[in-house]
Amino acid sequence: MGTVITLSLNGIDIDWGKNRYWNSYHWLFPPGSLTDVDYLYADGVVETKPGFETTLGEAYFRLCHLGYSHQETKAKFDADVARWNRTADLRLSFADFRSALASVDFASLTPADLEPYAWDFRAFVARLLAAWDMDEARLEDFIADLDPFLTLRVLADRVENRSLQLRWHHQDLVDSGWASLDDLTDIDRQTFIINHTMLVGRLQDHTGAATVGAFDNWLVDHGLPRRTPYTRMKPDGTVTHEKTTLPTAVRNMTHHPENLHNTLSDDDLRESVELLLGIAKLLPNPLPGLT
């Protein structure tokens, strides 16, 4: 049978994996999200075990700033449909997909509502979109293969859903030996570098800082310490040593991979993203385009 890992919204499982095949949702949860949550088993048995918990609203903020703004989500969805239609004929627009999912009121949805779909949320979504299930559309297969973060991001467009609890029930996978907590919390390094680069650029545009140094000063003014060592390599090969904020050091290392005098760890990359998210959250107005 295998061991299941699930993501739930207000007690409704919206994605699941098994054994070594699962989607990593850890990046949606801010630091400190690991807590004790309820696990529901057959015959109504409930056990309390470690799990990750936040609100859909908090995950929405992180999605918007880490690659799933409205425009980015639409572009990803449209690209998925275009690829699908190389061998199918699916006439589903992003607007129609968004409208159907945003109609779901998770505050009133219960597991009993999903029983006709064998408690498979993807089958439930396919039923919502039945009007687009033409002969050559292969809609159910499309929904089964669709990036689950697109679905979650669209569900968050319904403002009433954002106060609901989002939980990642991972502990059974750890207890059974299929994955360690380190496996579950690993970052996708390439994606994190892209998101870090985008966040730095958007924040620098917001500040109007014309140089990296000026942006580093802005970060210091917003509470970040300037204590991260960075070795700068000049065109003649000589080096100078300086200290910057962590996001500036990470920015420099990702922009200058030819400079081998510095090493970017996954922990520093993760921490830098969190620092930038923390600053973005405190801005009086959201960064343009990140809603």
Residue type, 171: Q
- Cα–Cα distance between 44 and 273 in angstroms, integer? 40
**In the 8-state DSSP scheme, what is residue 39?**
E
The per-residue pLDDT for range 237-259, each reduced to its tens digit, is: 899 999 999 999 999 999 999 99
- Cα–Cα distance between 94 and 134 in angstroms, integer? 17
The pLDDT assigned to 37 comes to 97
- Cα–Cα distance between 178 and 27 in angstroms, integer? 20
Whose structure tokens read 């496996």?
183
3-state secondary structure of 85: coil
Q: Which residues pair with 161 in a beta bridge?
A: none
- With bands split at pLDDT 50, 70 and 90, how would you rate the model's confidence at 1? low
The pLDDT assigned to 2 comes to 80
- Mean per-residue pLDDT, 3-12: 96
Sign of CA dihedral 84, 190, 54, 288: negative
